[in-house]
Structure 1
Amino acid sequence: MNPTRREFSVLAATGLLGLNAFADTYPSKPVTIVVPQAPGGTNDTVGRILAQKLSELSNQRIIVDNRPGAGGNIGTDFAARAPKDGYTLLLTISSTQAINPALYKKVPFDPVKDFEPIAPVGVVPNVLVVNASFPARNLADFIKVARASKEEIQYASAGNGSLNHLLGAMLSTSTGVPLQHVPYRGVAPALTDVMGGQVPVAFASLPSCIEFIKSGKLRALGVSSAKRSPALPDVPSISEVVPGYVGDLWVGLFAARGTPAPVVSKLTQWVTAAVAAPDVLERFKVAGVEPLSGGPTRLAQLLQEDIARWAPIVKASGAVVD
């Protein structure tokens, strides 16, 4: 027998009360934040800072679970298939969520349809760095040296189709300077070879290279953000020399699509409070991470903007991963 309109109303009200009751007791057990990159990278650094603060705010244990592989696809897919209860979250970066769908022939998740945006966490510029003995002292000099070179200048990246790779391709297109991409399996070996002189240039996220810059092992020529980074105030943004050049790496927290709205709302409030906390701000500053404010709408907007921005650049670069 079909339920009446009144019975539908009762069922709906009962369901809403159930969701609210669930949210009132959430989290009643440890929460796992999946980081689809290896320990030690930018996302892992941000994840551990965030997890500690969320643990304080929620009075519950927050676990960081690193699940690297396939450019972040393995961990992202795991989080997408997790129970929709808010106990398995995804802390990811824009390159995995916005670039991989255009880069990989087969992506096991939909970056928009499979996830509930919770909140942006931070933004990280990439840095154009050179070996300490490289003749260019600034970006304008670099462009002159590159144009005068008889051979294409090589630049290292964290891998084929990575944001580091595409930033180099975008710089080459924007300036007309031919650059030869040299992919590595991660940013650490790429920077090791730049410091060792095997490759003269690299793009790398600020947290991964800031200590090498401060120690003089690498020279920073420019940051990829629209404005200078507070962590490197003397290093100009690339856009000061190449107008319109912008390519930040943002970090955002997501849940599996279908996670109850009251749970998402509670998580959004905690993340917003965490990112504004003085101790978190100080740790972000040391790591070269700038905090990002805003809730689900802002994170969804960032994702859509980057999907639209990077898809044509990936196509122009010719980068494809099976």
Structure 2
Amino acid sequence: MNNKLLRRALLACAFAPLALAAPAAFAQAYPNKPVRVIVSFPPGGAADQIARAVGQPLQEALGQPVVVENRAGANGNIAGDFVAKQPGDGYTLLMSSGGTVSINPHLYPRMTFDPSKDLVPVAAAARVLVFLEVNPKLPVNNAREFIAYLKANPGKVTFGSPGNGSSPHLAAEMMKSQTNTFATHIPYRGAAPAMQDLLGGQIDFMFDPGIGLQHVKAGKLKLLAVGSPKRSPQFPDVPTMDEAGLKGFDADTWFGFYAPAATPPAVISRLNTEINKILRSPAFVERMNAIGAAPVPMSPQDFAARAQIDSVRFGALIKARNIKGD
């Protein structure tokens, strides 16, 4: 070996430990500046409430400010695209329904990012149920009466959702498919404005991701059924859609945190650990109870597997119903 090659070999050996130590050193130094959480839906919805319920205790755990920002639009694609194109350093996270990863590729033939390659799961946050709620003026008192009313009034009944392809929209499409009924869909830019119109009587019903439960308790809305395989602990007397005759009905979705694909595994592990601690805290459980959701601590790997299951499940529905992104 000549002297030049020998020097290169010696230099490579000298710097190798430094290269291996770099990711570990970065993880130990993380974080040293504020962390942004980009929410894919407008303020007031389930994703926004979950992000803010996690944000404050995560700030305390990390010792750095956690800033929540809303970037709504295209069923989460605007926020997803923004986060996917940020540096993979753990300082920009996405909070979204699982739909950004598991549903949107079925809705949008040409996306500006690939969720399966450009984003990585960090931590699940909550299993969000949807609740079939109707305006009190509708002459129905249970899910079976409601389905009969839909059949008797084809095209005359309206429902709202946070947008095309959102979990509340897909829940309604599930119901329509299984009951062979038709109702007019009115997409909104978020769950909160849809809920306001349901309360005001501008629309007749909605599969609510939990933000309207306070109005149910106040008698301003009728809760007819839960779109989950099991009854909600908060409303044990309210039947599931399955119990109302729609066998196998399951419109639950998993909301959680994602990061740019290049984020170091050690940083993802740190964030997963801290977020899972928060999900088990009494304060977070209480916040989720208020919207009828259930905390779901998971590893990043389990969260990714859940997204794949949902992709198959909802993808089949989207294809059968010919649902397109807005």
- Shorter-chain TM-score above 0.5: yes
Partner in structure 2 of residue 220 of structure 1: 223
Give the secondary structure class of the aligned counterpart of 1:121.
strand
Gaps of 5+ in 1: none
Q: Quote the RMSD (CA, aligned, Å).
A: 2.2
Change beyond 3 A, Cα 1:68–1:148: closer
Give the secondary structure class of the aligned counterpart of 2:113.
coil
- Counting matched residue pairs gives 321
**1:77-130 residue CA offsets vs partner (Å, 9 max, x unmatched):** 111111111111111112233222211232112111111211111111111111
Alpha carbons 1:226, 1:246 under 8 Å: kept: yes
Tell me by how many angstroms 1:64 deviates. Answer: 0.8
Change beyond 3 A, Cα 1:196–1:301: same
Partner in structure 2 of residue 45 of structure 1: 49
Partner in structure 1 of residue 194 of structure 2: 190
Alpha carbons 2:93, 2:257 under 8 Å: kept: yes
- Read off the aligned partner of 1:305 and give its amino acid letter: I
Instruction: Point out the structure with max Rg over C-alpha.
Output: 2
- Read off the aligned partner of 1:178 and give its amino acid letter: F
Task: Give the Cα–Cα distance (whole angstroms) in 2 for the partners of residues 305 and 9 of structure 1.
Answer: 45
Partner in structure 2 of residue 118 of structure 1: 122
TM-score normalised by L of structure 1: 0.92
Partner in structure 2 of residue 296 of structure 1: 300
The 5 Å alignment of 1:1-322 reads 11-149=15-153, 152-206=156-210, 208-241=211-244, 242-321=246-325
Q: Percent same amino acid among aligned pairs?
A: 38
TM-score normalised by L of structure 2: 0.91
Alpha carbons 1:124, 1:250 under 8 Å: kept: yes
Gaps of 5+ in 2: none
Alpha carbons 1:102, 1:314 under 8 Å: kept: yes
- Read off the aligned partner of 2:214 and give its amino acid letter: E
Deviates more, 1:122-131 or 1:309-318: 309-318
Alpha carbons 1:105, 1:321 under 8 Å: kept: no
Alpha carbons 2:74, 2:325 under 8 Å: kept: no
Task: Give the Cα–Cα distance (whole angstroms) in 2 for the partners of residues 39 and 114 of structure 1.
Answer: 25
Tell me by how many angstroms 1:231 deviates. Answer: 2.8
